[in-house]
Amino acid sequence: MKAFKKAGPCGRPLNETRIMSTVRHVVWDWNGTLLDDVQACVDAINILLERRGLPLVSREQYLEVFDFPVRNYYLRIGFNLEQENWHSLAVEYHEAYARTSAGCRLRDGALPVLESMRQSGITLSVLSACELSLLRRMMEERGILGYFDHVYGLSDLYAHSKVTLGHSLLAQAGLTPDSTLLVGDTTHDYEVASALGLPCLLLSGGHQAAEKLRRCRCPLVADIEAVHLHVCTPCTT
């Protein structure tokens, strides 16, 4: 098991001391947070754009324009949703993503962090805009499904808001805001956490540029090992 170094002073706004010293359950986002699939998503959307003769997006452009609901993101990168059937487009994208994401791995350090959290008595769940059966299959293929007490994904392919799903998770799992932390990689994760009354920790290197994440003014870290430090080491400043 990899040893984790002690965390230094936080220097962060928004009640970080309370957040980090009382966490007993961590709600993880999946895509971009635990799963390193940004390039797979760029490649998949470019397959659809190329078929329509539309300009392709670079990884840097993707990090700037990606957002929730993804329907709005599709509009921004050039899809004509008055002419396209939204359901057919979602199916087409997921067929492309199934190919481009087949080799995607967990983000560096994810597995030892999950293992260490469980050993520390912290329980875990996943709250994702991914369709539930696909989500569970991807987690199982990567050998981490058993680490999580609860796995919540959407019932369709449209990747809309996770707020309603999050309320269901809190109610059915009996989670309380004073002991639960949400970890994600997008501003939508912060919006979900705010709607649920949960503290939020954002992770850069996922589906949105760090500068966009900083606008949320909540704790932001660069890697999953830092998530572990924030959760398992009380902040003293």
| Domain boundaries along the sequence of the chain | 16-36+105-232, 38-100
Q: How far apart are CA 99 and CA 93, in angstroms?
A: 10
pLDDT number for residue 16: 40
Q: What are phi and psi of 199, to 5 degrees?
A: -70, 155
Binning pLDDT at 50, 70 and 90, where does residue 196 land? Answer: very high
Q: Which of 89-98, 199-208, 227-236 is least confident?
A: 227-236
Token pair 């520390």 in the structure block, residue: 120
Instruction: Calculate mean pLDDT across residues 102-107.
Output: 97
pLDDT at 159: 47
| Region 16-36+105-232: CATH code | 3.40.50.1000
DSSP conformation class of 83 = T
**Contacts for 167 with CB less than 8 Å, ≥ 6 apart:** 196
The mean pLDDT value of the chain amounts to 87
DSSP conformational letter for 202 = E
d(CA 207, CA 178): 28
Which pLDDT belongs to residue 1? Answer: 42
- Contact by Cβ (8 Å): 130, 157: no
Question: Binning pLDDT at 50, 70 and 90, where does residue 162 land?
Answer: confident
Helix ranges (H only) for 22-131 are: 38-51, 59-65, 70-76, 86-100, 110-119
- pLDDT tens per residue across span 115-151: 999 998 999 999 998 989 999 999 999 999 999 999 9
Q: What's the confidence (pLDDT) of residue 12? A: 38
pLDDT the model gives residue 69: 87
With bands split at pLDDT 50, 70 and 90, how would you rate the model's confidence at 156? low
Query: What separation in angstroms does the CA of 141 have from each of 18, 48, 81, 145, 198?
Result: 36, 26, 34, 8, 30
Q: What share of the chain is helix, strand, coil (3-state, %, to 5)?
A: 45, 15, 40
Q: Give the phi and the psi of residue 82 in degrees, each rounded to 5.
A: -80, -25
pLDDT digits (tens, 9 = 90+) for 25-53: 999 999 999 999 999 999 999 999 999 99
- DSSP code, position 179: G
Residue 14 pLDDT exceeds 50: no
Q: What pLDDT, on a 0 to 100 scale, did the predictor assign at position 19? A: 45
Tens digit of each residue's pLDDT (9 = 90 or more) over 49-84: 999 999 999 999 999 999 988 999 999 999 999 999
Determine the pLDDT at residue 232: 65
The one-character DSSP state at 200 is E
CB 196 within 8 A of CB 166: yes
Could you give the C-alpha distances from 122 to 24, 59, 74, 117, in angstroms and in order? Answer: 5, 34, 37, 5
